[in-house]
Every structure is written in C-alpha cells, then in structure tokens.
Amino acid sequence: MELRQRINAALKQAMRDKESERLATLRLINAAIRDREIAKRAEDGEDAVHEAEVLEILSKMVKQRRESVRAYEEAGRLDLAEAEQDEIAVIEEFLPRKLSEAEVEKAIDAAVAEVGASSIRDMGKVMGALKARYTGQMDFGAVGAKVKARLG
C-alpha cells in the first residue's frame, strides 16, 4: 500500500477509535504533505508529492520533535517532552526501519564506490546518493561525519 494511503487509513482508524492524540498527529502529517503539494504546484505546476518526498517530510518532522524533546527536558517540562515522544512514535510508524551500524557502513561503502569518490570534494555526491536511496532509514547528521572520515 502506498504511504499516503497508509497514513489516510490510519487517520480514519484513529477517528473510529476516538484516539485524539494520534488523530492530531496524523492530521499534522497530512497538513505537512499538503503544504509541500501547494509549494510544488507554485514552483513547477506539478502537485504530486512522490513517496521519497513524503519520507523526507516525515524524517524532518521526527527531527524537529527530537529537538523539541531535548529543549523541553532541559527546561524541566517532562509532560511536553512526553507528548512530543508520543508524536514521534506515531510518525515513525510510517518510516522504514532504521539501518544498523553495519548496514550504514555497507551503504556508505557502496555509495563511495558508486560515485567513484576519492577525496573530501566528492562528499556531496556520496551524501546525495545515500539520501536518494536511504531517506528515513539513517541519521544523515551522523552519516555525514562517517563519510567525511572515510574520504578525509
């Protein structure tokens, strides 16, 4: 089933089950996707948001919430941090499983070989190849440091 269809099915189920927090998070996901569609329509007249773009949106939403959790915990607002964690759990249901460290290393090796990277100047090409293939499956902040160490 396509990702958008899975999200809409989950939204309808949350309505039926009267799960208000889950419903609110699913509505936020749909709103973010619609915002991307509107922006895309304004840019190039195309309004279809592809699967990779939806994964990118979801990954960005998770990253924003993790930053919020950290800020709330530092401020001693554990109730708000817990609410953000609940939202993260709902969003991550639609993301592919995270790659293990060994799988990340293997993916970096494959991307370096694929683009023929030999120096740090090729880092952008390697990261581009990884993002195209593994959006939502790895933390690109941590992967960037590994790629840099590998090429540097």
pLDDT digits (tens), the chain, 152 positions = 588 999 999 999 999 999 999 999 999 999 999 999 998 888 877 777 888 889 889 989 999 999 999 999 999 999 999 999 999 999 999 988 888 888 988 999 888 888 888 888 988 898 988 888 887 788 888 888 888 888 87
Q: Which residues contact 87 (CB under 8 A, 6 or more apart)?
A: 21, 25, 28, 65
CATH topology of domain 3-92: Hypothetical Protein Yqey; Chain: A; domain1 (1.10.1510)
Say how far apart CA 67 and CA 59 lie, in whole Å: 13
Structure tokens of 26? 């699913």
pLDDT of residue 26: 96
Domain ranges of the chain: 3-92, 101-151
User: How long, in residues, is the chain?
Assistant: 152
Using the Cα atoms of residue 54, residue 55, residue 60 and residue 65 in order, give the sign of their dihedral: positive
Say how far apart CA 74 and CA 78 lie, in whole Å: 9
pLDDT of residue 71: 96
pLDDT of residue 1: 58
pLDDT of residue 43: 81
Quick check: 84 and 69 in contact, CB under 8 A?
A: yes
Geometric angle at alpha carbon 103, from 139 and 89, rounded to 5°: 45
Say how far apart CA 52 and CA 133 lie, in whole Å: 9
pLDDT of residue 23: 96
Domain 101-151 indexed as CATH 3.40.190.10: no
Distance spanning both ends of the chain, measured CA to CA: 42
Q: What amino acid is encoded at 81 in this protein?
A: A
| Entry pTM | 0.76
| Alpha helices by DSSP H, the chain | 3-17, 20-44, 51-74, 78-92, 101-115, 123-134, 140-151
pLDDT of residue 59: 87
